[in-house]
């Protein structure tokens, strides 16, 4: 594949994922998540509704950002873990890397996670996202142990990893005194007692 970008004819793109997210979060903060529609977001940005749909199939996808792309990055990071690294440590390091953000976007990330955690109408959609995240962990564990992805150990480790990551976020959102990486490191270290016997 050539690294040279082709010159495209016609109008330049009018927006991107990040611009839609910024506009949406402004409206969520002003009006509330439940009362904001994709039409409202499109109108606020001065773009067509179909443009918003091209980037986000539903309003419920916006708080999750570019989740599909990020999940592939997470999968790749797990697969880079050397086989000499204990299973629990490989998961811990990958989760911390996956949740590493520049200082200048941490406030925005905190706002995003508060919305996901505290909005009742988002919980069903969030369950689907968590399920996919757990699945990536289960795949990694299955590869390492030679078991199938739906065997007890990979599934259990996926659930445990998610629970520990969510508890770390819960703690991080409740205080300004702890960094996210420290919260995740402490919480996910509990995997060790389950995976090293």
Q: What are the boundaries of each domain within the chain?
A: 17-60, 66-195
DSSP 190: T
Determine the 3-state secondary structure of 137 from DSSP.
helix
Q: Along the 197 residues of the chain, how does pLDDT read in single tens digits? A: 333 333 344 444 568 999 999 999 999 999 999 999 999 999 999 999 999 999 999 999 999 999 999 999 999 999 999 999 999 999 999 999 999 999 999 999 999 999 999 999 999 999 999 999 999 999 999 999 999 999 999 999 999 999 999 999 999 999 989 999 999 999 999 999 878 74
Check: CB of residue 156 under 8 Å from CB of residue 90.
no
The pTM of this model reads 0.87
Q: According to the model, what pLDDT value does residue 57 have? A: 93
Tokens 């406030």 belong to 107
- The token pair at 142 is 């299955």
Q: According to the model, what pLDDT value does residue 123 have? A: 97
CATH for 66-195, options being 3.30.470.30, 3.40.50.12780, 1.10.357.10, 3.40.190.10: 1.10.357.10
Check: CB of residue 188 under 8 Å from CB of residue 92.
yes
Q: According to the model, what pLDDT value does residue 3 have? A: 39
Q: What are phi and psi of 77, to 5 degrees?
A: -65, -40
Determine the 3-state secondary structure of 79 from DSSP.
helix
Q: Which fold has domain 17-60?
A: Arc Repressor Mutant, subunit A (1.10.10)
User: Whole-angstrom Cα distance, residue 143 to residue 161?
Assistant: 16
Chain mean position to CA 104: 18
The vertex-154 CA angle with 166 and 139, nearest 5°, equals: 90
Q: According to the model, what pLDDT value does residue 83 have? A: 94
Residues 6+ apart with CB under 8 A from 132: 67, 71
Q: According to the model, what pLDDT value does residue 196 have? A: 74
Domains 17-60 and 66-195 share a fold: no
């Amino acid at each position: 594949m050539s690294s040279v970008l082709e010159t495209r004819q016609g109008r330049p793109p009018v927006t991107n994922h990040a611009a839609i997210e910024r506009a949406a979060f402004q409206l969520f903060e002003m009006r509330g998540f439940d009362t904001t529609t994709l039409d409202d977001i499109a109108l606020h940005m001065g773009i067509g509704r179909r443009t918003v749909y091209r980037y986000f199939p539903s309003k419920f996808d916006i708080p999750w950002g570019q989740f599909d792309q990020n999940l592939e990055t997470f999968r790749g990071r797990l697969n880079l873990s050397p086989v000499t690294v204990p299973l629990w440590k490989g998961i811990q390091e990958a989760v911390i890397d996956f949740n590493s953000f520049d200082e200048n976007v941490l406030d925005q990330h905190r706002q995003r996670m508060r919305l996901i955690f505290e909005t009742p109408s988002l919980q069903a959609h969030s369950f689907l996202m968590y399920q996919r995240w757990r699945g990536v962990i289960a795949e990694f564990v299955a590869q390492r142990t030679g078991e199938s992805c739906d065997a007890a150990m990979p599934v259990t480790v996926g659930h445990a990893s998610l629970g520990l990551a969510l508890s770390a976020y819960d703690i991080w959102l409740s205080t300004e005194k702890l960094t996210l990486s420290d919260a995740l490191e402490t919480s996910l270290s509990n995997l060790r007692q389950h995976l090293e016997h």
